Structure 1
């Protein structure tokens, strides 16, 4: 048995990183507990394991008495003195026993208890190894996929990438290398559960801190950050150093830095903008390439109304309203985009619109009249039925038009 114990001690110390002293304590407590539940119940037992050779020794702790009523806990004084000369009444002495007498059931129970203790040691070690890595990026290998969840091998432990923390459109197979943000270590009945994320805005923030030295050393500061995973990320940066361009620092020479991050995000778009203290200026920057024609601030309700021309409306809102939501989160204001009614400065358009409105006719009719020189209601003066018919209008159409003028 000593060789088995020694093998366990050496394996756990070298492979699992569990100290020999902790292992010995666990094994001793397990064997003692198991023995007291078996054939040795009612006894007080002392157990020691030699850390060098794994040898196990056991003793029964007995009280010296002159009349034995419980042989499992007491020893007669004459027998006690033969084991320990000078033993006196009431003294506790140790009588060595054969470890085999602890029983087969005790040994099996002890083995189970030892394995349980080992699992607890491993759980504690996993927590200690990863607790300081929360908020950092870790690299692992995809082990398997169950439903929407991905299990990732981090070397010393297995981590979970839940479906809600994955980026829409990304697919991974067993064996793929993957980088994620370690967001938390949750307690569960099975031990510490390491939770990962690729959808969190903090993942992209950490990528910038890793790739951009000016951010990691504090020269450039990330003032605001917003992300729609798989679609777009907007980041607002600033600096107090007049010699540093905060946007250029994040982009890198020929876009090298931001390209590295975009590749990691599988093509997700990234907008890096300069941060402005002025909300209107910040709104203009955040909405690019859309160009607001008017920005109205409702400070009481913390609301911004942005007006854009019709051609810019779709650009400002974005697919499924994502750009508005993203910009709203970046600014920290509720954002509403409205279409600006454009009044044409083209004289022909103005005249046509006037004809349609004043006469209550459709635009094609107005354009036909415009073609024969009638560009306003006043231009009908002197126009007769025959004139309109010669211009291609039917008799009914001509009468209806003249009736509108008379009216």
Structure 2
């Protein structure tokens, strides 16, 4: 191999950020394998490449003794006269492989710290096995079926956004980046792109509950007094939330105000239903929600979807009752109070005497009242 070819290899290694010595080591190994097969050698071959002038020598490793653990070999020089032709072919193979490996390493290094970020790309291929997304020239991402909403189908060259969920050191024909269209955090990233207040940290998305492709709920709060976090996310005439809904192919999104008061948060989470009363039990992490009779189906939602998402959003187990059901269950006092009542979970009756002192009796199973006040609540109903 000529010194000119060595110079060209060094130049290419610098341009592609490839380790020059590692590339030459691989070239020596490739040539050794090639010559053993081509020359039909009985023993292994060894190839050396002079790092200065590019001179190549081929040796057959002839055993001359030693032990099984540490055999001894004699180098028998068998360098063929047409070595340059073989060297050029092997060099092309090694260089191509080294470039691809270097590119995979660069992609891994660039994206390994970006797990949880969103990316935009164009669909290159989509079938039942996977969807391949081109992020940019030479960079592809894999969208597995498990990370695709069931109702989504992708067309060639269609632009989509997705969330990076994994970056791995892949084989030659496999993308390093794995993305998702179902992850709850994708909604967070999409709102960051559309809502400057979220990007700047003034408005915070506190929690997300999602049934991909169908419906989601997000709870938001503001760090700036007087700023309406829900209005900031919805945007003028719904413009901001519409952009997110469009990216998610029509997935419905409810934006509700977050609260550190569980009863208030649970009530907000059931939006758009109107809530009359929320009774929470901290010990059991449950909430009984009372709604007007005409709001019951809306509060529960189609196939329980609204209630299910509200429970995911708040982390509370929620039992929804209509006003009529609540009256029959002995919750008349809670309804009459017209406010959100929090059961501290101590099992005591929640009734209060005329001077404001709470009853000391234990509540009946399935009721918030003791035997005496349960009867009174039923009578008043």
Whole-angstrom CA distance in 1 between matches of 2:212 and 2:159: 20
Whole-angstrom CA distance in 2 between matches of 1:257 and 1:276: 23
Q: Check if 1:328 corresponds to 2:311.
A: yes
Q: Which protein has greater RCO, CA pairs closer than 8 Å, 6+ apart?
A: 2
Whole-angstrom CA distance in 1 between matches of 2:226 and 2:293: 40
State the match for 1:139 in structure 2.
120
State the match for 2:162 in structure 1.
180
Matched position secondary structure for 2:182: coil
Structure number with the higher helix fraction is: 1
Aligned mate of 1:198, from 181, 206, 210:
181
Whole-angstrom CA distance in 2 between matches of 1:222 and 1:187: 32
Query: Per-residue displacement from partner, 1:354-382 (whole Å, max 9, x unpaired)?
Result: xxxxxxxxxxxxxxxxxxxxxxxxxxxxx
Whole-angstrom CA distance in 1 between matches of 2:326 and 2:159: 57
Matched position secondary structure for 2:50: strand
State the match for 2:135 in structure 1.
154
Aligned mate of 1:167, from 118, 134, 149:
149
State the match for 1:217 in structure 2.
200
CA pair 278-343 structure 1, distance change in 2 beyond 3 A: closer
- CA apart distance, 1:71: 10
State the match for 2:269 in structure 1.
286
State the match for 1:48 in structure 2.
50
Whole-angstrom CA distance in 2 between matches of 1:293 and 1:126: 54
Whole-angstrom CA distance in 2 between matches of 1:275 and 1:175: 39
- Using the size of structure 1 for normalisation, the TM-score is 0.64
- CA apart distance, 1:250: 1.8
Whole-angstrom CA distance in 2 between matches of 1:163 and 1:56: 50
Consecutive unaligned residues in structure 1, runs of 5 or more: 62-69, 75-94, 345-407
- CA apart distance, 1:44: 6.1
Contact 1:42 1:73 in 2 (8 A): no
- Using the size of structure 2 for normalisation, the TM-score is 0.68
- The number of residue pairs the alignment matches comes to 311
Q: Greater CA radius of gyration, 1 or 2?
A: 1
| RMSD between superposed Cα atoms in Å | 3.8
Bigger Cα displacement from structure 2, 313-322 vs 192-201: 192-201
CA pair 242-343 structure 1, distance change in 2 beyond 3 A: closer
- CA apart distance, 1:203: 0.5
Contact 1:140 1:152 in 2 (8 A): yes
Q: Check if 1:250 corresponds to 2:250.
A: no
CA pair 318-283 structure 1, distance change in 2 beyond 3 A: same
Contact 2:143 2:180 in 1 (8 A): yes
